[in-house]
Structure 1
Amino acid sequence: MDFQYMPVLRYREQERIAYGNSNFDSRITPLFEVITEKQRSTDTIDKLIRETSGKDNVIIDIPIYVPIKPNTQPSVTSFLNPMKANDSLRTQFFLDQRLVNQGTFIPTVSYDPQVPFSSSKIKEQIQELRKKYTTLAFRCHYKHNSPFLSLVESYSNEGDILIFDLDEANYRHSKFEEVHKRVTSTSQKKGLKSVLLRSTIPKDLTNTELENDEIVDKIDNSHLKKYSEYNYSAFGDYAGVKKDELTKGGVISPGYLFYSWESNSFYGYKGNFKSANSFTTILLPEILKSKPWKEFTDSHKNSCYGCSSITAIDQGTKKGNSQPSWKGFAASHYLKTLEEFLK
């Protein structure tokens, strides 16, 4: 595998739509985080297989790093809590014969950085998965990185993928220097694909903070162009959307983050707090006259699901007051842009 970019997509409706409207080539390999047992009434594994049919090299993970809170979505809690409590359940999920038979899925060996680290459990997971999968991904967090990387050094095979997941942390910080070196040197010695993964949009960024047609200074997307300077062979992010904590409810707060390749930045747009109608009365006209809208060609706007949806809303052929839908538009535009411009 010689990919440059690994978008991390939560396996839920809007990210699935963005993925389904993308056309990844060998430069892009997605990682799907499975967060629920079912997608509406359909088994997640069945739907995942159907929606990735014909695709090569799809990485899958169960994000046990996600904190479970009282307001976490019930479907997420019911799926992740048992996975957090019992490592063998995660292994059993990946060893489901439907996934194994496809020959395209790459399971991820990962851990919860907020609980005590168990080398024996990770070792057991690697050994069980290796019986059915030639290629594995390893997801390393800063916390417990040393014992985890020791296991990678001992049990990884050529062609495996080693991901250093920084969450929202600044990859330039000096405290990460030695980990960067160990991850990349291990990858070079063992023939692994190394990936620098960051969530670039802060969780505490609110739509009410955004200023129309202004770059959002709190978003640092620079690792997209700097990862190779740290000797990584690829980079990853959350496909131009916020890595939320999967909680339920919340108040309608219209907003949109529009990615610009020219500046490698996100421009912000906002409507009126608690007013869903302002997606179309305020956000839409602001976006259509914006700097990034003018940056992209008609060819991009016509072939990009996100941009063509915005055009359809403007023309009255598509409804435009759904907050999740606008998140999907942003992800689709980001993915389409990287498809076009990555070299």
Structure 2
Amino acid sequence: MKNRDEELRVVKGMSNYFGELIIPVLEIIRDEYFVRYRTDEVTGEFIFEKKPGLKNKTKIKLDPREEDIITLAEIQKRLNGKRAFIDFFRFNDNEYDNKVFKGMELSFKLSRDYAYYKHRIYGIAEYENLIPVISIKNGFKVSAHELEKMINDLREGNSSIAIRITDNYLEDYAELFEESLTRSDYLMLDIRSQHVDSKFIELEEFQELETDAVKILLNSPRLRSHKNGEYENLLFTSKIDNKVAIIYKDYGFQGFGDFGGLKDDLPVDSGGNGKGAALGLTFVKEENAFYSVVNHDTNMGVGGYKYVRSEILKRLDILDKEDNCVAIKRIKDMQGKYGNWATWNNLTLTRYIHQQAKSSISL
């Protein structure tokens, strides 16, 4: 998950389902700040101003400072004592189609200032339940010597360390991983949006790697290129192949990770017109697939979710046999208002976590 509003709400709402068998990975793309307000230097009282178009005066916010950052502290609160991987997110210019991004100031700074990136990673040690992730991918490769130094530095303040690496760089660091990682560490092989069947050579190399670290296979099976209106209606969609959730066991890996039915995308300043196909994706663990409900009338926009809701509720024999799904309960409780794109992203992710938890937690 990226630390956008809806994903953070899911972290808080679903923290009871996290544990040793389900550990969220949080890609930090923005900071949260303690809000300060302007005060009178003599009295210490707040200073108010009246903004155009408002009847009442409001307190004047001060510009945030580095020392006002509370990002990790707030994440730890939401986790309610559970563990999470923290990946301070960097990206290169060609990685996300060169769109105009919104609210990405932190990621831009992390991507351009390596010293600051290290500073933020080292700061994770202040939080007992958070596991630092060193991410290696195109545009962000480091020397083996530098990586070894980072691992050693992080080990001083963290009980576990994670390395997230794309498959094209695995061989470059194989010897280091075998010698430097311990059984309390995690090694994540990220094949990005590539289909797992096309990466059998790389998976075999990962399998043969002799490391004590926990091996995790990462994948992003929902392609960014697929628009909502391209999904099938009232079918298990073929556009999201969740095979990684099964095949990781065949290679002897200890776990897998994905985006929980969401796209691996970034917030953009789209200037949308409110139109679009309303899409509801409901994961069914027994099928290892997403049941897709789409209102293809793009003129309805979010109004199309009334149809999506009604069709989901007609199929509870498939989608909620045990009558215990957190997401389905929220859908049932919708009265008159049926949510927007963000609401249904939240529901998709909530449902996915709940379904994956079924095999490890008594619900």
* TM-score w.r.t. length of structure 2: 0.80
Q: Deviations over 1:115-166 (max 9, x none)?
A: 5653343233223212211310011102222213333223212321000001
State the Cα distance separating 1:28 from its structure 2 match.
Answer: 0.9
Mean Cα displacement is larger for which, 83-92 or 177-186? 177-186
Q: Is the 8 A contact 1:163 1:197 kept in 2?
A: yes
- Which of the residues 7, 10, 15 maps onto 1:18? 10
| SS of residue in 1 equivalent to 2:204 | helix
Gap change, CA 1:342 and 1:201, over 3 Å in 2: farther
CA radius of gyration, larger in = 2
What is the match of residue 116 of structure 2?
89
Gap change, CA 1:136 and 1:150, over 3 Å in 2: same
What is the match of residue 180 of structure 1?
203
State the Cα distance separating 1:20 from its structure 2 match.
Answer: 1.8
1:43-58 → structure 2 map (5 Å cutoff): 43-55=70-82, 57-58=83-84
What is the match of residue 38 of structure 1?
32
**Distance in 1, Cα, partners of 2:329 & 2:187:** 36
Q: Is the 8 A contact 2:312 2:319 kept in 1?
A: no
How many pairs were matched up?
320
Structure 2 stretches lacking a partner, 5+ long: 36-68
Gap change, CA 1:68 and 1:170, over 3 Å in 2: closer
Q: Is the 8 A contact 1:255 1:283 kept in 2?
A: yes
**Distance in 2, Cα, partners of 1:116 & 1:31:** 20
**Distance in 1, Cα, partners of 2:112 & 2:178:** 26
What is the match of residue 55 of structure 2?
none
State the Cα distance separating 1:68 from its structure 2 match.
Answer: 6.4
- Check if 1:325 corresponds to 2:319: no
Q: Is the 8 A contact 2:133 2:164 kept in 1?
A: yes
1:1-343 → structure 2 map (5 Å cutoff): 9-22=1-14, 23=16, 24-38=18-32, 43-55=70-82, 57-65=83-91, 67=95, 71-76=99-104, 78-96=105-123, 99-114=124-139, 117-173=142-198, 176-186=199-209, 189-249=210-270, 250=272, 252-253=275-276, 254-271=278-295, 272-290=297-315, 294-297=318-321, 299-301=323-325, 304=326, 306-313=327-334, 315-316=335-336, 319-342=337-360
**Distance in 2, Cα, partners of 1:115 & 1:27:** 29
Higher relative contact order (CA 8 A, sep 6+): 1
Q: Is the 8 A contact 1:287 1:293 kept in 2?
A: no
Gap change, CA 1:246 and 1:142, over 3 Å in 2: farther
Letter in 1 for 2:71: T
State the Cα distance separating 1:263 from its structure 2 match.
Answer: 1.6
Gap change, CA 1:228 and 1:257, over 3 Å in 2: same
State the Cα distance separating 1:278 from its structure 2 match.
Answer: 2.7
Letter in 1 for 2:80: S
* TM-score w.r.t. length of structure 1: 0.84
| SS of residue in 1 equivalent to 2:103 | helix
State the Cα distance separating 1:33 from its structure 2 match.
Answer: 0.8
Q: Deviations over 1:51-90 (max 9, x none)?
A: 12311x31110222463665343321x1112211232222
**Distance in 2, Cα, partners of 1:275 & 1:118:** 52
Q: Deviations over 1:217-247 (max 9, x none)?
A: 1211122122110121111111122212332
Gap change, CA 1:135 and 1:116, over 3 Å in 2: closer
What is the match of residue 58 of structure 2?
none
**Distance in 1, Cα, partners of 2:194 & 2:254:** 19
Letter in 2 for 1:60: I
Q: Deviations over 1:1-27 (max 9, x none)?
A: xxxxxxxx1111111222222222322
